[in-house]
Structure 1
Amino acid sequence: MTAAELPVLPTKPGCYLFHAPGGEVIYVGKAVNLRSRVRSYFSATAAQKAQLIRNRAERLEFIVTKSEVEALILEANLIKRFKPHYNVLLKDDKSYPFLKLTREAYPMLLFTRRVLKDGATYFGPYPNPGAVRKVQELVGAIFPLRQNSGVPLQKRKKPCLRFHMGRCLAPCIDNVSEEAYAKVVRQVRAFLEGDVAGTAEQLESEMRAAAARQDFELARLYRDRLQALQRLTGYDSDVTRASEDDLDFLGVAQAGNFAMVQLFQMRRGRVVGRDKRFLTNAEGASPAEILERFMADYYGQAMQVPPLVLVPQEIDLDVWSAFLSERAGKRVELRVPQRGDKVELMGMAERNAHTGLEAELALLERRGEAPGVKELQALVGLESAPYRIEGFDISNLMGTHTVASIVVFEGGRARKSEYRKMRITGLTRPDDFYAMHQAVYRRFTGALADKLPVPDLLLIDGGKGQLSAARRALKDAGLELPLLGLAKKQETIIREGAPEILVPETHPALRLLINIRDEAHRTAVGFNRKQRGAAMTRSVLDDIPGIGPARRDALLARFSSIDELKSAGVDELARIPGMGRVAAEAVVAFFSAFDNERASVLKAPEVRAAETGGAEAG
């Protein structure tokens, strides 16, 4: 699509939708000024993502709104409806769970995913159903709300077991007045809004008042509830709170096509809740765009919005403040903290976002859904996603026993049945470049070339020198394949004729490359150790024709040294169990030839020259 094909755009706020051939919505955006924002996609300095969108788009549709806040809400709904390819998406884009305090004389606390305009009070959203169940259990352990008498309340002849346990006031048998039950409901409401301290203070006040009236049974009930509250929430009335702030603070982490946003809820100076969301389609998106996608989804459903929200990135603060104020019914400030204790809160949120993202990526890898392949294609500019990647590494000890390893990954997963190891020949000193050339050349010209399919990408453990050696080997083998190197210093991705790439270690593409490199290194080092171990345990007897491991062990058990063995005759050797006369003669002949060769080497050069007719005279 070109700028000339754009419709006449107004200068008003609204949303715009890019459509691909066939009508698919590939991107939804919002704008304060539709004309200015859309035309920025067609400028010479447009970002790479904007260029991809305009190149794929066939037509543009726009919707004018009354205000920027209305555009923000509309954008969130359109993204949820169409799930456009180039928009950041919530990976687990499901409705949030809530707790619902029903609207009736004797309210009940319920789990729900639907927020209705039915006069009930909703609390949430919560991050997952498990969190809701835990809060329900906590409320049930502290406050005697009814649980088993239906909505609306159904009368019973006998109360349930919770009444006999002191955990229900049993309105189903008219055991409690509406006023007394309403007092418990107010405590539940305050608790769910985060006022743990206020709830504890009210319970303690009622306990003391009941004790003063000498209503010790009621005082005991209040005491038990207060103790349950302290035990289950960790609240301690003797600890002075350093801050009375009510606020939310958010952290963002991004790795290639994936991102994580974590939100923490602080009420009365205590962190009382957390939500986190794993997002996809984040490649090329700014942290601000990722943050806005999460906020639109979360605060679009949130029932309680605090007066202050801390964000780590500059976004359109005025628009978002207006949106949140509209949701809360009061003034809400949006702020990027610059100093003080609130910067520490942001650091906490950022650290948790990075940790959460790493955990999600590791989970994908364990499930066989390794996310690095497509991200690697985009990161290094490959024509297609590299399904089969082969990793090469060289290992030696002071230049001895040089070996190479070849590991295979398909679809981001190790294919161990196709791993290969080889000894490097022709080396008298350490030379990783020579070894890498030989390993790559033999992989694509020998028997392995027929047994293994051609990979989509080669990963070389090392820098530009190893990469050049691998390229020469491919050229000698008559092949042209994509090559990458991975240098351990700062985990730098090395490309041929292009700048080096440095990305965070959480980036899925780099995680995949590190995994392949480490697997190749582990395999090469293990093979090198095995070769060195075999060399250390090798005996001179292994070189004698006809002497296998069994006969070798029998000879070593009979004689205490090689000199003693060499002095033994054929008859003596033949009497050893398992030897026989032919094997005994082979042993005697081997040592006789060995001694003759050694004596020749020890002779002076002029003597050897005379014996060989001057062949060694030079």
Structure 2
Amino acid sequence: MIPKGIVIGNRRLPDTPGVYLMKNAAGAILYIGQAGNLKRRVTSYFTRPQDERLERFVREIRRIDYRRTDTALEALILEAQLIKKFSPPWNVREKDDKSFLYVELTDEKFPRVLLARGRDEPHGARFGPFTAAASIREALRILRRIFPWSTHTPEQIERSSKPCFEYELGLCPGTCANRITKQEYLKNIKNIRLILEGKKKKTIAALTQEMRSASRRLEFEKAGTLRRQLFALQHIQDVALLTDSQPTPPRAKKGLPAAHFRIEGFDISNIFGASAVGSMVVFTDGEPDKREYRKFRIKTVHGAHDIAMLKEVFRRRFGHRPRTGGWPLPQLILVDGGAGQVNAAHTTLRAYQLRIPVVGIAKGSDRKKNEVFGKIPRGVELRTLVRVRDEAHRFAVRYHKTVRGRMFIDSRSMIQ
């Protein structure tokens, strides 16, 4: 529940896509975020366990305003526009930060639609910043299915008699093989530009007028293409953009990276206790964050005691906490295993006075299905947790093989 002391714009939050603006007592904007479900996203800030830094942020909030949008895609674009306009302190990591993603329409005869970092030299019009890389990439995939664009460099344009593979998929309009005129291609780019400017209604109006004109001229094939674009634009299925179940505002401290919903996955790998290692993988907003992966060589456990090994890994991991300048805390812990592994995690968390949800996923007795131990937090998908489990297992096995290989080489050296 949202505390009573916080004022909600229009008194209640809707179950619809949109952008929310969190403000302090003076009315200054602290943070701007987007959601596929405003009520669920905003409420989660006050119902999920947070670390000290985020608790301080939540205590500052005194008012929450919002703006509705028709789709999560439009919410993503509106969020970028508002962040650029207001530069809220909990969105912007450093005032000169150049690591956010931007969408760039290149300055070329047949413009390309690219993703670029703020630090990169611009080569055309830019839109952004976009703070969620996975979301903007998915947004572009959705838009390209409606308005195909070319990824070919100027040197590759009109150089082939045969269209590329993306043309067969309906993603490239055929610039590579001279299948589209410059005039028609630029219409697609104009529509993409309008959408990135938050002008979807203007795009729909222009497409409707062009479709009617094509029908009057008896250009039925063109009218059919425009009708399909209109329908797709009005019925965007942007479920993949809904990261609203995984909120956490970025770090406000200068120089630190943004933190979103962080899942840490753990696994142990050994052969009858030999060459024992542990792994920690990190998924941020549902995607692997390999820079945050960690490996542990088991030091205190001898013999095949996987749960004791897991406890050692947890003790060493949670010895690196934010308050000591260490690793950020996760919003969810996933272990490869059952009740024993989940209990091992809870035991360690209690010792460190931490309250973080723990879920275990074990392959069933027939090794053909996944058995879940613990309660999966609302909004987190099982398929994401399975991916985390499988990645933790892969990473642990890989490290175990490396350690075992070194031991084998060392043993041969001793024999010789």
Larger radius of gyration: 1
Quick check: which one's helix share is greater?
1
Judge same fold: TM > 0.5, yes or no: no
TM range (shorter): 0.3 to 0.5
TM-score by length of 1: 0.30
Q: TM-score when scaled to structure 2?
A: 0.42
